Structure 1
Amino acid sequence: MSGPRTAAVVGCGDVSTVHLEAIAAVDGIDLVAVCDTDPAARAATAERHGVPGFADHRTMLAETSPDVVHICTPHHQHADVAVDLLDAGVHVLLEKPVAHTLDEAARVVEAAERSTARIGVCFQNRYNATAQAARELLASGELGAVLGAAATVMWTRTPDYYRARPWRGRWETSGGGLLINQAIHTLDLVQWLVGDVTHVDGHAATRFYSDVIEVEDTAELLLTHDGGARSIVYGSLANVAHSPVTIDVTAERGSLSIRGGLTVTRADGRVETVPERVAPSNGRTYWGVSHEVLIRDFYARLDDDEPFWISPREATKSLRILTDVYARSGIGPHAVTPSHL
């Protein structure tokens, strides 16, 4: 980072916690404003951090001129805010998903590619020690060709989770349920580790929370990757507890298993382990441990000539996968012909 940067956060909901913690922890970043349409959330966050609070991001931008804005709003607000900021030449760090629909994601991609500002999307689990080690090992070719993967996301939610933030359970505001709001990180890691997805099959449905939400709480996917590898993914929020996310990758000469830490089992019987880092936070444990690592890296790369490596175009890959599943399942506004990746 060439010098001190000023930052602002738009959206003072739950996930803003880890962004605000990272801004406070990283030397050379000064928080200058927060923004939220909810007066109580805005006032509480502004008072806690000793900065002005704004109800509108355009007013905030005009009065405080931050170098970087972190967008932590509900999904359906991502594109409008991101496009406004990029067109104003302001750097953007955007929480996942890139947008709640593919059309809105395309708007962000177009704005990013015409802007001189940088934008990154928070797929922070790519920065996990386990994911980085797995990616490096698979890319090295030591284990031979990757044959495929199997992954699970089996968590639980309560009706109060949705009632507290009604946007989470609606197609119009969230763009989906389990797949876009929880399992998207796992979908992103599977395609990042195994390869770009060229075909999607699967089904999504509301198995348990149909009296509370209109979006899906359970899904199963079959993914075909570039080169022919095959992966399966299962997720549900109807589990009675939070089970660890699992990702198992099978290659010609060994396998990888991520269950908290990473276990590498080679064909000759050797076993290696890579522990995951620990990152104390007031945020939810299932958000992982790597938000601060990603945020540090984003700020360090602001003067790079190349776009940030987790760009809107890159982040659209996982959105396209889950949108195909919605289309195949005939649910939500995505009940149209699948895109056939």
Structure 2
Amino acid sequence: VVKLLASHGSEVSCKDKKAYTPLHSAASSGMISVVKYLLDLGVDINEPNGYGNTPLHVACYNGQDVVVNELIECGANVNQVNEKGFAPLHFTAASRHGALCLELLVGNGAHVNIKSKDGKTPLHMTAIHGRFSRSQAIIQNGAEIDCEDKNGNTPLHISARYGHELLINTLITNGADTAKRGVHGMFPLHLAALSGFSDCCRKLLSSGFDIDTPDDFGRTCLHAAAAGGNLDCLNLLLNTGADFNRKDSFGRSPLHYAAANCNYQCLFALVGSGASVNDLDKRGCTPLHYAAASDTDGKYVSHSSLTVVCVVML
């Protein structure tokens, strides 16, 4: 069909509303015979679409390894970036089906530490999407373990944020710094506790991290667990010896954060551990003030939860 249309004058480099060419479509779908035919006709192999993605980008994202191999052999630029600064290797690192594509790219000169406009490397992308085997391959090919994005987050921070325990283990085994500060001076353990990944917290704690080390605002990992309402993480930290009365730069204890979110389970755990219910923050507010001022319209918490929280504080 493609040959028939082309032989009758169809423009082989035409673009749709998003600037996709026929080569983009064929590459994305894995239509290798069409890809070869279009390349033989001389279409631009590195033509970007409306997002700056080349045919190699879309082939990598969809795991079309046969097409990727053909495009590379025909001269596709393996390091060409799109509008956000992502190279084909970023797409392969994020894809569900990119293992062989990654080998092809790295074997043909793709830069394993190439950064997007927001500072993310391919290793960051594996951390976001939990691509364990690809993270290993990228590391083996020279990826920088503690590379930082524009927020200062390393792949270990990202893995902790998204709860990828296997990736955390791989990164730590390969020398990742568990005490490296990321956004707002937070450590990977802060992000795991805030997001509610107790297994990740346990793995990070086993590496010897000081549990009461604060971020730029004086908040410890226990503050983060309380703020996120994550009971399992909070109990793990309490059982590991976290300081439940530690105050942040605003004078707030973990109990203030649990009360502010009307998370009565975390509040019970903190009070049961001996947390002071009458501590004042720098504005002169106790945890009870925060509980009383919380979302009482029922949009986020029930009236019964708020009542329980206030009763516990009295």
Taking structure 2 as the reference length, the TM-score comes to 0.28
More strand by share: 1
Between structure 1 and structure 2, the one with the greater Rg is 2
Taking structure 1 as the reference length, the TM-score comes to 0.26
With a CA cutoff of 8 Å and minimum separation of 6, indicate the structure with the bigger relative contact order: 1
More helix by share: 2
